């Protein structure tokens, strides 16, 4: 067991290295590192059971630095573990270094990208739950700052952890009193802050976060068998150890100027005389991360036919249940709308792989990131409109390179009477604007079945499946092929005057328009652009050129939607393009009234076609 003096020496090393690295970088948050240095030293060199040489070992304890701006103290810990040389550490924040300003997966020892505050506890909770689900006992430690405790997302995780008795989740609050510009909302009183956690059913331990013995004792206590998750609230001082800076306002995110560094380090050494002893570090063998395994499972036979009339949200739930059999790591997360998204169909089949997250979308996405890291294939589902609630967490998932699957039901004005608050009308824009994301929009049961399969296989980023409330007619036969980046031409003739490009619910309007126009002797082609991102640019151009006139139609706001995506793809072609999309605040009404009101129904399409052929 590590001695207290050893831990204090490590804490000193972390302090010194954090100050040096940020000074060398000319930016960063050394004072936020210094308040946490004792805690991080105790975690990495005492409490956590893990093999630093084998970060993927499933039995390792896990560590999430929720206060991501303290990244240098995390890097310093790995330097002291032998994963980095001092030279490498001094490359902090440089373009070629994986040691970014806030931790990202390019630093292969890091467990989750952080830097948007208030996200870490959710990720940790996901990891903690994975331990029970996989029956691999380990602890997940999450280090939070006191400033980020005002983020509601933190309280979402705090609310859910006791419900699931996540006793292997250990939260630690680095209560250093000072935020970026002012004192935190909490004074500097761990006991007062503890009452909040207690109200949610947590066990709390309040300590002096700079007393190594107290930290060690608290960590021991935290691991005692218990019924409740536990939080250690550590009273600390920002910039602890730096003369004139410790506990002073105005030093957030300020590196020590290089010309003052040697003086500052000298004073630091004087302050921690006994601890300022360098200990030998044995370098680790360079760790080469293993890429995510391919998700390869045999697709069961498609249960739907062209005759199946079913809402895509229902087909989603049923397909989830079917894929749950061959894909043993598939797990479903619901934000208390499982009878709307039909996640309940999966739940009834695999209750042990269903997590009720209640109405807390941010925590749902955060937990999914944690579960994915520990080997699950999580699918988060809720109303498309409410996915906007977790936009920041989804953005962070993209930065974390997490292949997150998200299904948004009740997309568009076509949901009808419930009104605009329940209508997802910005989800395509939101999900397209993520690096490496894919956006898939099925129109019937068969396409839902196959596109969900593609989303499950997609490991390079976030996949989004857009779902419709109403039952829709079958369009495709069961064996139709659907690919990421594909499209289908559903109607086509030699006489086509206009090409209609659409997907999802409005595909049915396009087919209706096709029929209406046919009666009037006007032929149009109809393209199902079910893969909105990526899209098949070459094929789109080919189809568009056949008529030279294109109309897109979608149940989504114009900006960032299918129409603009097509417009971008066709930008350098001599093609007339009209975009029908939602352009104003919607309201309650029947689906038919609303798609007419917004000019995205078959009549509006037919009218636009007639204008173009005129």
Rounded-to-10 torsion of CA 287, 292, 296, 297: 100
Residue list 570-599, contact with its own copies (CB under 8 A): 570-572, 574, 576-577, 579, 583-585, 587-590, 593-594, 597
Contact 77, 40 (CB under 8 A): yes
**Per-residue interface string for the shown chain with its own copies, residues 249-288, x marking contact by CB under 8 A:** ----------------------------------------
Residue 399 contacts its own copies per CB under 8 A: yes
Residue 336 contacts its own copies per CB under 8 A: yes
Residue list 71-110, contact with its own copies (CB under 8 A): 93-95, 97, 99-102, 104, 106
Residue 611 contacts its own copies per CB under 8 A: no
Contact 581, 563 (CB under 8 A): yes
Residue 41 contacts its own copies per CB under 8 A: no
Single out the segment in contact with its own copies by CB under 8 A; choices: 148-156, 238-246, 280-288, 316-324.
148-156
Cα distances from 415 to residues 124, 399, 446, 569, in angstroms, run 35, 32, 21, 29
HSE on the CB side for 434, CA within 13 Å? 28
Residue list 432-491, contact with its own copies (CB under 8 A): 432-436
Q: Of 309 and 587, which CB lies nearer to its own copies in the complex structure? A: 587
**Per-residue interface string for the shown chain with its own copies, residues 173-192, x marking contact by CB under 8 A:** ------xxxx-xx-------
Nearest approach, Cβ of residue 92 and its own copies (Å): 8
Residue 153 contacts its own copies per CB under 8 A: yes
Residues near 27 by Cβ (< 8 Å), separated by ≥ 6? 93, 101, 253, 255
Residue 36 contacts its own copies per CB under 8 A: no
**Per-residue interface string for the shown chain with its own copies, residues 538-567, x marking contact by CB under 8 A:** -------------------xxxxx-xxx-x
Residue 401 contacts its own copies per CB under 8 A: yes
Nearest approach, Cβ of residue 393 and its own copies (Å): 9
Contact 145, 172 (CB under 8 A): no
Taking the mean position of all CA atoms in its chain, how far away is CA 84?
28
**Per-residue interface string for the shown chain with its own copies, residues 481-520, x marking contact by CB under 8 A:** ----------------------------------------
Which residue from 143, 310, 430, 522 is in contact with its own copies, where contact means CB under 8 A? Answer: 430
Which residue from 82, 419, 534, 548 is in contact with its own copies, where contact means CB under 8 A? Answer: 419
Contact 461, 484 (CB under 8 A): no
Contact 362, 333 (CB under 8 A): no
Which residue from 118, 239, 370, 403 is in contact with its own copies, where contact means CB under 8 A? Answer: 118
Nearest approach, Cβ of residue 200 and its own copies (Å): 6
Q: Where are the beta strands (DSSP E) in 462-506?
A: 463-466, 471-472, 488-491, 498-502
Residues near 450 by Cβ (< 8 Å), separated by ≥ 6? 302, 442, 480, 481, 482
Rounded-to-10 torsion of CA 324, 391, 310, 300: -20
Q: Of 48 and 500, which CB lies nearer to its own copies in the complex structure? A: 500
Q: Which residues are catalytic?
A: 361
**Per-residue interface string for the shown chain with its own copies, residues 155-174, x marking contact by CB under 8 A:** xx--xx--x-----------
Phi, psi of 236 (to 5 degrees): -135, 175
Q: Of 395 and 450, which CB lies nearer to its own copies in the complex structure? A: 395
Contacts 24+ apart (CB under 8 A), 482-485: 482/447, 482/450, 482/451, 482/454, 482/530, 482/531, 483/454, 483/531, 484/438, 484/440, 484/454, 484/458, 484/531, 484/534, 485/531, 485/534, 485/535, 485/536
């Amino acid at each position: 067991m590590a001695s207290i003096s050893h831990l204090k020496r490590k804490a000193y090393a972390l302090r010194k290295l954090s100050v040096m690295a940020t000074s060398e970088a000319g930016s960063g948050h050394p004072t936020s590192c210094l308040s946490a240095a004792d805690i991080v030293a105790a975690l990495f060199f005492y409490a956590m059971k893990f093999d630093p040489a084998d970060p993927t070992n499933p039995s390792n304890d896990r560590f999430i630095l929720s206060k991501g701006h303290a990244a240098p103290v995390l890097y310093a810990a790995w330097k002291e573990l032998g994963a980095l040389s001092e030279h490498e550490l001094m490359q902090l924040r440089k373009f070629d270094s994986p040691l970014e300003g806030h931790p990202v997966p390019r630093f292969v020892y890091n467990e989750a990208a952080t830097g948007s505050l208030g996200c870490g506890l959710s990720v940790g909770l996901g990891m903690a739950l994975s331990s029970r689900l996989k029956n691999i006992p380990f602890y997940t430690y999450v280090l939070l700052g006191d400033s980020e405790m005002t983020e509601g997302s933190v309280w979402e995780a705090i609310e859910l952890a006791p419900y699931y008795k996540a006793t292997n989740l250990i939260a630690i609050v680095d209560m250093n009193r000072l935020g970026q510009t002012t004192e935190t909302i909490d004074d500097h009183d761990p006991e007062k802050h503890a009452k909040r956690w207690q109200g949610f059913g947590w066990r709390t331990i309040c300590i002096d976060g700079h007393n190594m013995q107290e930290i060690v004792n608290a960590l021991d206590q935290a691991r005692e068998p218990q019924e409740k998750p536990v939080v250690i609230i550590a009273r600390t001082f920002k910039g602890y150890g730096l003369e004139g800076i410790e506990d002073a306002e105005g030093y957030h995110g300020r590196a020590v100027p290089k010309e003052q560094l040697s003086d500052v380090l000298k004073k630091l050494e004087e302050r921690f005389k006994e601890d300022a002893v360098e200990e030998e570090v044995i370098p680790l063998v360079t760790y080469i991360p293993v890429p995510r395994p391919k998700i390869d499972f045999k697709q069961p036979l498609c249960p739907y036919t062209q005759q199946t009339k079913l809402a895509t949200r229902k087909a989603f739930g049923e397909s989830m249940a079917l894929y749950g059999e061959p894909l043993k790591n598939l797990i479903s997360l619901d934000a208390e709308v499982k009878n709307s998204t039909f996640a309940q169909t999966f739940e009834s089949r695999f209750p042990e792989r269903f997590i009720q997250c209640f109405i807390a979308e941010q925590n749902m996405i955060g937990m999914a990131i944690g579960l994915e890291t520990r080997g699950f294939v999580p699918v988060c589902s809720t109303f498309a409109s409410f996915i906007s609630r977790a936009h920041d967490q989804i953005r962070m998932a993209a930065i974390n390179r997490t292949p997150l699957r998200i299904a948004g039901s009740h997309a568009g004005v076509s949901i009808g009477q419930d009104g605009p608050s329940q209508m997802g009308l910005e989800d395509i824009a939101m999900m397209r604007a993520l690096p490496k994301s894919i956006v898939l929009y099925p129109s019937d049961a068969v396409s839902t079945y196959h596109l969900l399969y593609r989303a499950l296989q997609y490991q390079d980023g976030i996949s989004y499946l857009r779902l419709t409330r109403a039952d829709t007619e079958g369009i495709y036969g069961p064996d139709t092929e659907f690919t990421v980046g594909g499209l289908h031409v559903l109607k086509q003739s030699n006489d086509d005057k206009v090409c209609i490009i659409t997907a999802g619910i409005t595909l049915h309007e396009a087919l209706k328009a096709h029929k209406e126009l046919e009666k009037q002797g006007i032929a149009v082609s109809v393209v199902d652009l079910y893969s909105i991102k990526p899209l098949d640019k070459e094929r789109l151009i080919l189809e568009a050129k056949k008529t030279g006139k294109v109309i897109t139609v979608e149940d989504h706001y114009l900006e960032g939607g299918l129409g603009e995506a097509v417009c971008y793809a066709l930008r350098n072609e001599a093609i007339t393009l009209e975009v029908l999309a939602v352009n104003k605040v919607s309201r309650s009404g029947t689906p038919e009234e609303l798609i007419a009101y917004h000019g995205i129904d078959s009549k509006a399409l037919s009218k636009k076609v007639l204008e173009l052929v005129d």
